[in-house]
Structure 1
């Protein structure tokens, strides 16, 4: 992503994120990342200087808790936010459009990559079948080998499912499962299923 926020927009959005309650700087970075569906993550060097400036202007208040600093919206900050509601609504619309564009690009990239993988796997499977030379006792050995490969493949599917479920549950607990994640997973799984089926005899 080239430039996400125009001049002054990140400043405004940080105020908006603090409207729901105090947050640490890291939580603000995470909230921004989630809002963009993971396609944009601001650096600490981008966020913290702006928070310091907002503090200097009296729009946010900082309180230190051990090694963490918590930022809270002040009355002056809330007043500025109220004055700029129209600008904030326009910014939200721009962000939504940016997320849609990047979600489309991610889906297109995934589909293209999976199409290439499917073609490569199908070609490799066909070459392996063409190169197979029957040997004495080959049917029994092949059946045993096929059974072993099936068991291995099923174990891979179970492991994949377990890991994905665990990741999704962790993200859900943190409020971080977005539409882009679901769409990407759907595209990958649908394409993977078609690719796998193309390699089966």
Structure 2
């Protein structure tokens, strides 16, 4: 996933967050996550060195409140935010575009996963429905158990692949919109209904 912020943009956006209200480090990281729809959450190793640099430049001050260190913007910091308001507007627009592109990519990936799920379950249903009639001496129950095991392997493999893809995406800071999960739920329901029809359940 491409970076959401360039180095300079991140610095200015950080100042703009502190221009809104004083914040402690974790609150700053959460604010980034909220403003980017969950697509970008900076690490402590990203935020604290920049805060220290801003403090050296006289743009930010820090104070200790219990166990938290609170960062606040200075008058000089506010002046920079005001002077670079046009740049900040551009960052906001670019951020919205980046979030939209990332969200579209997630939807596309999940859509492809849904197609794969439907194909896998349809294949399992078709294999079950089209099981050859047993030859003399064959036990139908044995064949049914064999096909059941095959179907379970297909479903288990797909489940593992989808879980791994989703967890990896989220772990990398990707967005997982509720609409995407809703689509996943509907696709699973459709696949289950198709399987029941193939089995003669409805």
- Fold-level similarity (TM above 0.5): yes
Paired residue for 2:78?
Answer: 78
Correspondences of 1:59-74 after superposition (within 5 Å):
59-74=59-74
Contact 1:118 1:198 in 2 (8 A): no
**Root mean square deviation, CA, Å:** 2.2
Pair 1:187-2:180 in alignment: no
Give ranges in structure 1 of 5+ residues lacking alignment: 139-178
**Separation (CA, whole Å) in 2 of partners of 1:61 and 1:80:** 15
Displaced runs of 4+ in structure 1, greater than 4 A?
A: none
**Separation (CA, whole Å) in 2 of partners of 1:99 and 1:11:** 19
Gap change, CA 1:123 and 1:90, over 3 Å in 2: same
CA shift digits 1:20-43 (9 cap, x unpaired)? 211111111111122222222211
CA shift digits 1:145-171 (9 cap, x unpaired)? xxxxxxxxxxxxxxxxxxxxxxxxxxx
Paired residue for 1:164?
Answer: none
SS of residue in 1 equivalent to 2:130: helix
**Separation (CA, whole Å) in 2 of partners of 1:124 and 1:109:** 23
Correspondences of 1:9-158 after superposition (within 5 Å):
9-131=9-131
Give ranges in structure 2 of 5+ residues lacking alignment: 135-140, 142-174, 198-202
SS of residue in 2 equivalent to 1:79: helix
**Separation (CA, whole Å) in 2 of partners of 1:26 and 1:3:** 20
TM-score by length of 1: 0.71
Gap change, CA 1:42 and 1:132, over 3 Å in 2: farther
**Separation (CA, whole Å) in 2 of partners of 1:17 and 1:133:** 70
Contact 1:22 1:73 in 2 (8 A): yes
Q: Higher mean Cα deviation, 100-109 or 125-134?
A: 125-134
SS of residue in 1 equivalent to 2:177: helix
**Separation (CA, whole Å) in 2 of partners of 1:187 and 1:36:** 22
Cα distance, 1:7 vs structure 2? 3.4
SS of residue in 2 equivalent to 1:40: coil
**Separation (CA, whole Å) in 2 of partners of 1:31 and 1:133:** 63
Cα distance, 1:114 vs structure 2? 1.4
